[in-house]
């Protein structure tokens, strides 16, 4: 009987010795999260005077293993100071990005140079959040389902239509700066709307006078330089001596950048000059602004000297 019992235990001992251990050791941990597909959301940063700006963002990624490649598009980035200049230049065409995936962590970088753009993100289910290196910028993304992608793709190429990007609390609207291209003949030029960049005064009613000198700006800046402050001091004196005039401040830019971005930058330059005049005693109801962006260069040669001349704010007047 003992011999029979021993023989019965042999298969059981063999099975126990060859069985794989249960629990975590038996599993192969995943090398990374699948981030392939389309993500939409927001680029949240600060603009001029530390004002919070939220730009609509979309990201499309194709992934193989722990590496991905795709395109990131920012809608409205033309006027966002929180967005790197090299990224803004791409406009609605977007930038090409590489993604490295490790577990739930994703590193997203510009395909040419991570100094242009680099961000660390964390995937949490169907959401991906993180920050951009070197900037006070947060990225908030949500994965779009396949059903959400079908309709836009049937109508047109998705990357060319950022208005399809949903944002949690802000509807997608056209950039107000673009409205500055259309004259508003129904508005009286005697009632300048200095607070509304969409209202362009009737500039044909205003004329240049040699006593009012233009002021110039550094590249991609709207802050007044010392030489601009000196010129504005002289302009302020003349305007006080000619109190029966209304003043139109015209913002201009050089040829670099998109038309939309330069309209916004020209508007900020004009308002920067206008605010200085108002702070130094020129009544607000005498002042109005307009932005021409890069529409009206005074010099067309592709040189630094020409570009310096085109980054300016000019002054025109008319009688009340």
3-state helix, strand, coil in the chain (%, to 5): 35, 30, 40
- Residue span of the structural domain in which 298 resides: 176-319
Whether residue 9 lies inside any domain: the answer is no
Q: What CATH number is associated with residue 225?
A: 3.30.1330.60
pTM listed for this prediction: 0.41
Separation of alpha carbons 241 and 215, rounded Å: 20
222 in the same domain as 300: yes
- Strand-pairing partners, residue 106, are 101, 121
Residuewise pLDDT in 10s, the chain (320 residues):
555 554 555 454 444 444 444 444 333 344 578 888 998 888 787 655 556 677 788 888 999 888 888 888 876 554 455 676 667 656 556 788 889 999 989 998 987 777 777 899 999 888 898 988 877 788 888 998 765 544 443 333 434 434 444 444 444 444 444 344 444 444 433 444 444 444 445 566 899 999 999 999 999 999 999 999 999 999 999 999 999 999 999 999 999 999 999 999 999 999 999 999 999 999 999 999 999 999 999 999 989 999 999 999 999 999 98
Whether residue 7 lies inside any domain: the answer is no
301 in the same domain as 268: yes
């Amino acid at each position: 009987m003992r011999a029979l019992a021993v023989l019965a235990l042999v298969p059981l001992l063999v099975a126990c010795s060859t069985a794989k251990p249960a629990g975590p050791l038996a599993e192969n941990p995943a090398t990374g999260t699948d981030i392939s597909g389309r993500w939409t959301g927001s680029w949240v940063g600060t603009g001029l005077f530390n004002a919070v700006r939220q730009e609509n963002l979309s990201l499309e990624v194709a992934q193989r293993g722990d590496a991905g490649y795709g395109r990131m598009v920012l809608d409205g980035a033309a006027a966002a100071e929180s967005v790197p200049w090299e990224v803004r230049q791409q406009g609605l065409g977007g930038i090409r990005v590489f993604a490295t995936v490790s577990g739930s962590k994703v590193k997203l970088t510009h395909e040419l140079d991570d100094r242009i753009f680099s961000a660390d993100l964390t995937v949490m289910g169907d959401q991906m959040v993180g920050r951009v290196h070197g900037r006070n910028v947060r990225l908030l993304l949500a994965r779009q389902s396949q059903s959400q992608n079908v309709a836009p793709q049937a109508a047109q190429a998705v990357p060319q239509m950022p208005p399809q990007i949903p944002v949690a609390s802000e509807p997608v609207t056209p950039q107000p700066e673009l409205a500055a291209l259309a004259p508003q003949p129904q508005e009286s030029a005697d009632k300048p709307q200095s607070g509304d960049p969409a209202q362009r005064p009737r500039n044909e009613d205003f004329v240049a006078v040699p006593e009012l000198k233009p002021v110039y700006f550094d590249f991609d800046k709207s802050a007044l330089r010392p030489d601009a402050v000196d010129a504005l001091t002289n302009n302020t004196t003349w305007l006080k001596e000619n109190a029966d005039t209304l003043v139109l401040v015209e913002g201009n830019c050089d040829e670099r950048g998109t038309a939309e971005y330069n309209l916004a930058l020209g508007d900020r330059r004009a308002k920067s000059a206008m605010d200085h005049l108002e702070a130094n005693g020129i009544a607000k109801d005498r002042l109005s602004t307009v932005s021409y962006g890069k529409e009206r260069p005074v010099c067309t040669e592709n040189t630094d000297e020409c570009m310096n001349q085109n980054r300016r704010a000019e002054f025109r007047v008319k009688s009340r």
